Amino acid sequence: MMKRLVWTLAALMLVCANLMAQRPNREPSRIVVAYVTSNPTVMPDPSRMTHINYAFGHVNDTFNGVRINNESRLHSITALKKDAPWLKVCLSIGGWGSGRFSEMAATDENRKAFAADCARVVAEFDLDGIDLDWEYPTSSAAGISSSPDDTKNFTILVKEIRKAIGPRKLLTMASPSNARFVDFPDVLPYMDFINVMAYDMGRPPRHNAALYRQDEAGNVSPFARGSADRAIQAHLDAGIPKEKLTLGMPLYGHGDRKNYNDYVDFKDMAAPKEGLTEHWDEIARVPYYADAEGKLVLSFDNVRSITEKCQYIKDKGLLGGMYWEYICDNPSGDLTRTIANQLLPKRIVSAQAVRKASYAGNEKRFRALLYYSDKVEEAHSQFANQAVQFFKKLTVGDGWTLDVSKDKLPSDLFAYDVVIMPDVAPGSKSDRARFQEYMENGGGWLGFHGAGYNDASTGWDWFRDFLGGVSFLCNTWPPQPALIEVDGFDHPVTRNLPSRYVAPSTEYYQWQPDPRSNPDIVVLASLARENFPMGLKDVVFGGDFPVVWTNTNYRMVYINMGHGDESFTDATQNLLFINALRWIVSRSPKGDPFQK
Ligand code: ZN
């Protein structure tokens, strides 16, 4: 018996020794915290992160609970955990300008009620915890109320929330680069980790997020005020151990508000604009664009600076990295992938390959801009507003991106595969010039009704030629339904349409000369002869009457429909609209996105 026991023990020890020998070198388990905001529809790729901070929840109006932006998106974000068991999702409460913290934290009753409501949302939304983003206790810089007692009350609040959500859930917070406003030694026992917002430390002519302010030789960068290194040091000095710190990295830059907007997403940074050049700050370890005099006009981060910041995180032994925010990265994910590759274990990053294959259909196919105006006749504004809804609906499920811009033609048209113009064309000289440049260099245009209107008073010869060399001759009035004859059955825009359909009520323009007389024009639909005479006030008695066409010198379709509130009520006509959009986009100089 004894002998058998010895043998058993020996065998057990052997097994243990084997197990120990086989245990692989564990990769340090660093984390990547991605802020994901409530407005976009794009879904984050969980292989690039371990934590999502959903932004934002807020203190409610009665100071005793939580209000969440876009709850349905939060549900779909937490649903990502099903296929990504490593992923943790927290609700971030606060954000710049998000107030009512001071009032909430001031009384025991409100604090307890708020903490209880945090526990409720954690349970209700299947969350892993709460991230506090009060910017900042005792400060009204963001236009929110504050009190000298905020710091003290914050500590009590943190204890209450911890008590309410329990020890297994995460409680984290965002902290500004100066590490002020919070008694860290008091809150640390209740906090899992602190995200250091090492950005917005300067605006042009200073860097947004320098890594260092000076090098080892003592040379100071002329563009750096604060630095990520100093922000981390400030938090270490405040008594936070390095294992509880993540370094925040911006996926956006700051412009000088002249050459660039204040905030510029990484995805919107093409090559520097004319007259500007890209530089690398050897001391601050970040890139920037400068003008001819060397003045910094855009400060940002790129793959190189992000890689160096990740190396800094590893060298310093920090818990990990954080970034604001996922949607700022470019479509290929250059920055978020870099951060994941630098900091995350291979088992998470390589989950990407599997997901990439099975999620390929979820990649955004293209990007469209809808430009419209309310400062037009009422029936045109009605159509434009319906067009916004119509095209927005077509983006459901994340297939493509639609940006909507009212009265203002965005500066970077080249970011779009197509520009949709319901009932209005660019009016100012500079907008017209930019639109012309865009169209002459591969741009896409889907124009409706009033967008094509031009006459002697328009004073834009290029646009008349663009439309086919035609100007407004006369119109039918009042708006009424019409029998449409579909032309060109071999054309992708009309191939799947019936040869005739009755279009809902609209106003039609007749043109001179006849667009069909221009060899560059392919007519796709016309008014059938049976309609004539058409109109009661303004009567058209006949003649060739094209209503949809393309100028083959450009990537464009003009559609005459678009007056009043009925244009989207016919399924056949809606298909025509969608076909036109699809065809324009399919000929993008970047390649046909529907073939990808
Ligand atoms: Zn009209």
CATH number at residue 334: 3.20.20.80
Q: Determine, yes or no, domain membership for 142.
A: yes
Residue 103 CA, ligand 1 centroid: distance in Å: 53
State whether 392 and 437 are in the same domain.
Answer: yes
Q: How much is the pLDDT for 446?
A: 98
Q: Are 61 and 110 in contact (CB under 8 A)?
A: no
Q: How many CB atoms lie within 10 A of CB 397?
A: 9
Q: Determine, yes or no, domain membership for 220.
A: yes
- The whole-angstrom separation of Cα 211 and Cα 91 is 28
Q: For ligand 1, an ion, list residues with CB under 5 A.
A: 507, 563
- The whole-angstrom separation of Cα 331 and Cα 315 is 30
Residue 561 CA, ligand 1 centroid: distance in Å: 8
Contacts of 235 (CB under 8 A, 6+ apart): 175, 179, 184, 194, 196, 245
Q: Tell me: cis bond preceding 478? Omega within 30 of 0 counts.
A: yes
State whether 320 and 200 are in the same domain.
Answer: yes
Q: Determine, yes or no, domain membership for 132.
A: yes
Helices (H), 149-278: 150-165, 184-187, 228-237
In the chain, the amino acid numbered 378 is E
State whether 317 and 409 are in the same domain.
Answer: no
- The whole-angstrom separation of Cα 496 and Cα 488 is 11
Domain termination site, one of 349, 380, 409: 349
Q: Determine, yes or no, domain membership for 262.
A: no
State whether 318 and 449 are in the same domain.
Answer: no
Q: Determine, yes or no, domain membership for 149.
A: yes
Tokens 């949809």 belong to which residue?
548
- The whole-angstrom separation of Cα 221 and Cα 526 is 66
Please tell me what DSSP assigns to residue 285.
T
Q: Can you give the residue range of the structural domain that contains 189?
A: 31-251+301-349
Domain termination site, one of 349, 382, 415: 349
Q: Are 449 and 422 in contact (CB under 8 A)?
A: yes
Q: Determine, yes or no, domain membership for 182.
A: yes
- The whole-angstrom separation of Cα 348 and Cα 423 is 49
Residue 462 CA, ligand 1 centroid: distance in Å: 22
- The whole-angstrom separation of Cα 73 and Cα 41 is 8
Domain termination site, one of 349, 381, 411: 349
State whether 407 and 329 are in the same domain.
Answer: no
Cα dihedral angle (506, 509, 510, 514), rounded to 10 degrees? Answer: -110
- The whole-angstrom separation of Cα 550 and Cα 561 is 14
Cα–Cα nearest to 307, from 334, 269, 273, 325 = 334
Half-sphere exposure of 240 (CA within 13 A, CB side): 33
Half-sphere exposure of 521 (CA within 13 A, CB side): 22
State whether 385 and 521 are in the same domain.
Answer: yes
State whether 305 and 408 are in the same domain.
Answer: no
- The whole-angstrom separation of Cα 54 and Cα 51 is 9
CATH number at residue 409: 3.40.50.880
State whether 338 and 438 are in the same domain.
Answer: no
- 438 SS3 class: helix
The count of structural domains within the chain is 2
Q: How far is CA 447 from the centre of its chain?
A: 25
Q: Determine, yes or no, domain membership for 18.
A: no
State whether 337 and 383 are in the same domain.
Answer: no
Low-confidence ranges of the chain (pLDDT < 70): 1-28, 352-363, 596
Q: How much is the pLDDT for 174?
A: 98
Residue 486 CA, ligand 1 centroid: distance in Å: 21
CA distances to 49, 245, 335, 408 from 349, in Å = 8, 22, 14, 41
Residue 451 CA, ligand 1 centroid: distance in Å: 10
Q: Determine, yes or no, domain membership for 115.
A: yes
Residue 450 CA, ligand 1 centroid: distance in Å: 6
State whether 320 and 403 are in the same domain.
Answer: no
Residue 566 CA, ligand 1 centroid: distance in Å: 12
State whether 409 and 480 are in the same domain.
Answer: yes
State whether 309 and 209 are in the same domain.
Answer: yes
Residue 385 CA, ligand 1 centroid: distance in Å: 14
Cα dihedral angle (543, 547, 549, 555), rounded to 10 degrees? Answer: 150
